[in-house]
Structure 1
Amino acid sequence: MSEIRKHYFLDRHCIIATGRAKRPSAPKACNDDIPSSTCVFCSGHEEETPPATSVYKKGQVLKDTDGQRVTGWDVRCIPNLYPALSPDAPEAATSGFEVLRGYGFHEVIVEHPLHGSRLHLFSDEEILLLMQVYRDRVMHYQSQEGIKYVSLFKNWSKKAGASLDHTHSQLIALPLLPSEISVELQAIRHLAECPYCNIVKREKGSKRQIYENSYFIVIAPYCSGVPYELWILPQQHVHHLSVLTDEMLFSLGDCLRYAVSRLDATIPELAYNYMFFQTEGNPEYHFSARIQPVTSIAAGFEKNTGIYINSMPPEIAADHLMDRA
């Protein structure tokens, strides 16, 4: 049986094709052959990375210098050694087509000093600190001249794009607003009610709800593009990490940790990406975090149409993740 499902409010579709379903097997963890003794993100290897732009240590926010690295840290933020964008990018060459210079910033957030740490095993204090770091670093780069959007994301496992096994996130600050956000904003501005607030109302308590706490809800979205896709939505309308209190940040981290823990319990060492969607200057937008596990690759049909075939209906995925199957 197949269904063509429409996105909640955008002109996008996915195909739920249960006849193609095979429950995904567990992919291998990323870079298992790289021991922690050679990992540049591990505590004690600070000299092997560029100087940190921000170091969080026992309630303090510090910085490295060329001659001195901060040790004993909790979270460490460093420039990406191979940045997608750079504040020192040269002017773009004239080509006859529209082009911008590659101006921006690219930062790695090393989430924990220990090599074997996993986000779903973080303590309450560790998950709150990570959310605070996310807020701080996004706000820092959002305030830089010429920056219009800050992309915050995590790739877990080689299959999801991570080049190192040590748990980390990334941040890329852009001089433009991505089309993904622009399309959503245009749709939202034509609606009488925030569509994400409406999603929260409609999905709260539904068979696609995975988890909720005081401020956030976790759902398997009705129009899920990939198996076990999850969305984390604030239950009240907020548009950006900068407006979240520490209590709300903890609730966000709690939902993120719970969602990742359930994915790992269902398919151990499952590769995934999570991304934060937000806009600093558009309060009508509704903040969200979205997790997309990597269980298959986009093939010709998906690339030709933009329509993804998902063999795992979100209702069944929710059962698996909630141990209700």
Structure 2
Amino acid sequence: MSEIRKHYFLPEYCIIAEERAKRPSDFTGAAGGSEKSAPESCVFCGGNEEKTPPATAVYKNGEVFADTGENRVRDWDFRCFPNLYPALSPVPSPAPSPAPSPAPPSPRFHGKDLEVFPGSGFHEVIVESPVHGKNLKDFSDTEISGLMRVYKDRVCHYAAHEKILYVSLFKNSGKAAGASQDHPHSQLIALPVCPPVLEKELEVIREGEKCPYCVLLETEKASSRLIHENNKFVAFAPYYSIGPFEVWILPKEHISFLGDFSPELLFSLGEILRTVLRSYAKVLGNMPYNHMFYQLFETPEYHLNLRLLPRISTTAGFELNTGIYINTVSPEKAASYLRGAK
């Protein structure tokens, strides 16, 4: 019989419907990959730097540079530049005024009184390698820890902007996961608002005596849903999973923001992320997926977490109508497959 499971600490639900389940091999290739482009035509490849906007940060041999005018930095390790088709764009700084600008209003609806405020912010692409088709699961220790450093640097860079309240850091891998380019890359969108899902979590967190993430971390470390663990992080299939083979990664230390990570923490984060991706590849093949950081700066109550979701199932009418997701692979079964794929 199916189960209706409640989120760890939010009033949200999922349905575990294993009678509709498939074997992991049945998922392989089901969602399709991204359309492949040739390296010579890929604008993200090393050597094609003029085909993108000038880079705001270029990492090369441990140092950070930026493109200047028509001069582009070559032979780089990681490259960050504004998205050519941004969801949000920066607005020019206004002339100095005697009074500070008010915070953007919250949208509200009162009859015909609809409110809107400028969609100002930043949207950046983080190219993870100059090599076409190189995936995170194949990164060396130096490469994966280097990418985590880039993540930290870029999040901190945009969090320092006065009008920015949240920095969304995520990766779309594969066409079904929303990637328009198959060259490995991540994205960052800096917002002038805090997402409601984070506000809702924070409200619950502040009402309790203990951090609910710290509590669930101890529970999952001892459960059948544990997948991998290193000295700093735990990866598990969450009890409340919105899709097959969803994985959460949590630091064992209560820490809210990538900006507070030490080099050791960054390496351990990259190490366990790479391990999960290698398990995905062995069990699911070249499956499109998303990974998403949930974090808040200047909010020590929050507990940073990284979530991965293979794009196996489709969000359809029931999910859109109810906000309740149907998951055909129990997290316990998903964890057993992924644990065995080391």
- Normalising by structure 2, report the TM-score: 0.92
Structure 1 regions of 5+ residues with no counterpart? none
CA distance in 2, matches of 1:114, 1:65: 23
Q: 2-side partners of 1:170 and 1:279: how far apart? A: 17
User: How much does 1:89 deviate?
Assistant: 7.8
Name the residue aligned to 1:279. Answer: 296
| Partner deviation per Cα, 1:193-250 (whole Å, 9 max, x = no partner) | 1000001111113210100111100000001010000000000100000111000011
Measure, in 2, the Cα distance between the counterparts of 1:117 and 1:146: 35
Identity of aligned residues (%): 53
Matched, 1:309 2:309: no
Report the residue type matching 1:250 in the other structure: F
Q: What is the Cα deviation at residue 90 of structure 1? A: 11
Is 1:31 paired with 2:48? no
Residue 261 of structure 1 deviates from its aligned partner by 1.0
TM-score (norm 1): 0.96
**One-letter code aligned to 1:37:** E
Separation (CA, whole Å) in 1 of partners of 2:180 and 2:190: 20
Quick one: which amino acid aligns to residue 214 of structure 2?
Answer: C
The 1-side partners of 2:313 and 2:76 are apart by 37
Q: Distance in 1 between matches of 2:218 and 2:82?
A: 40
Shift of 1:22: 1.7
Please report the RMSD computed on the Cα atoms of aligned residues, expressed in angstroms.
1.7
In structure 2, distance between residues paired with 1:48 and 1:88:
24
Letter in 2 for 1:277: Y
Residue 73 (structure 1) aligned with residue 90 (structure 2) = no
Deviations 1:154-196 (A, max 9, x none): 0000000000000000000000111010000001111111000
How many residues in Structure 1 have an aligned counterpart in Structure 2? 322
Residues 83-111 of structure 1: per-residue CA shift (max 9 Å, x gap)? 0000128999xx83121101000000000
Distance (Å, rounded) in 2 between the aligned partners of 1:315 and 1:89: 51
Q: What is the aligned partner in structure 1 of residue 256 from structure 2?
A: 239
Aligned to 1:5: 5
Q: Where does 1:47-126 land on structure 2 (aligned, <5 Å)?
A: 47-88=50-91, 96-126=113-143
Report the Cα distance in structure 1 between the residues aligned to 2:175 and 2:47, rounded to whole angstroms.
24
What is the CA distance between 1:145 and its match in structure 2? 2.1
8 Å contact from structure 1 (residues 233, 288) kept in 2: yes
1:204 correspondence with 2:221: yes
Give SS of 1:120's match.
Answer: helix
